[in-house]
Amino acid sequence: MKLTVLAAGAWGTALALAFAPRHAVTLWAREPQLVADLKNERENRRFLPGFAFPDSLAVEGDFVRAVEAAELVVLATPLAGLRSTLKQLRGARPDLPPLLWVCKGLEAGSAKLPHQVVADELGASAVCGVLTGPSFAEEAAQGLPLAITLASRDSAFAEAAARELHSPRFRIYANDDLVGAEVGGAVKNVMAIATGICDGLGFGLNARAALITRGLAEIARLGVALGGQPATFMGLAGMGDLILTCTGALSRNRKVGLALAEGRPLAQILIDLGHVAEGVGTAREVASLAAQMGIDMPITQAVDDILQGRRGAQAAVEALLNRDPKREGQ
């Protein structure tokens, strides 16, 4: 299959490397200097150093050439770049190819999930879905085993695309719960910031387990209210992604939480990180959406308070600990 990955960040590069052995893959990058570096060095030293490109992996800087023959497009842009890239794709390929996106979060200002942004730009009939679940780019590039979800409202597309992209070390499970998969992928980043704060403040493993579990309850509460299926939140796009992002040393959002616990300014944390931490922007949108819908999401609200400077990390955690007890399941 001819496959184009749009955006050569860490995850886009890892996906290109993972799919290249079995498919004709083109990796597109926007910045001319990055394109030149990728072609000359045959490695993404800026975003995913140490992994050589196979000869079969093509690099392209021209958007039209990158997508003109693609039978499947994988959008690996951060959420902030999703809408503009979709507009570019619509202009370059009026006969839209099937597409997948891998960004996670809610769009700033609109609180829309990625599939809603796709529908805005490409129409509700576009053949599309999300690739999401517990996956770090570095481990995927190493060829270490992983399992993720490919979710689409078009079950036939989800199953066909999952079969086509699946390999023994890159296992893909089809799912028809697009909303649930996206909510799980979005809100887990907020919970990872919370877990980083909890660990950074030295609250211990018991507290971490409690936070992750109650965080999953918040994710499911919002997801079901938006139309997601409860079972999704117990699967790869829910619990799986949440556990990895909250506990893995490679988690960007967890790193943000650890740094916040040290009292470092958010702006400097993000500069030092050097990559997008989607949970930072998502926390505000999720907290606002939950308030509008009357959904109780205290951990999310606490993270947003910290990120917006309304409370310090210690004070926000103490406020959570002093909440009245409830029945489990509420």
Catalytic residue among 104, 112, 188, 255: 188
**Annotation marks residue 112 as catalytic:** no
Listing from the earlier edge strand, what are the strands of the sheet with 72-75?
58-60, 24-28, 2-6, 72-75, 99-101, 128-132, 146-151, 170-175
Q: Report which residue type is found at 132.
A: T
DSSP letter, residue 239: I
Helix %, strand %, coil % of the chain (to 5): 55, 15, 30
Give the count of beta carbons closer than 10 Å to the beta carbon of residue 31: 12
Cα–Cα distance, 314 to 230 (Å, whole number):
32
Which residues touch 12 (CB under 8 Å, ≥6 apart)?
5, 6, 27, 74, 76, 77, 102
Burial of 273 (0-12, 13-18, 19+ CB in 10 A): middle
Cα–Cα distance, 204 to 100 (Å, whole number):
38
Strand 146-151 and strand 128-132: the pairing is: antiparallel
Q: Which residues are catalytic?
A: 188
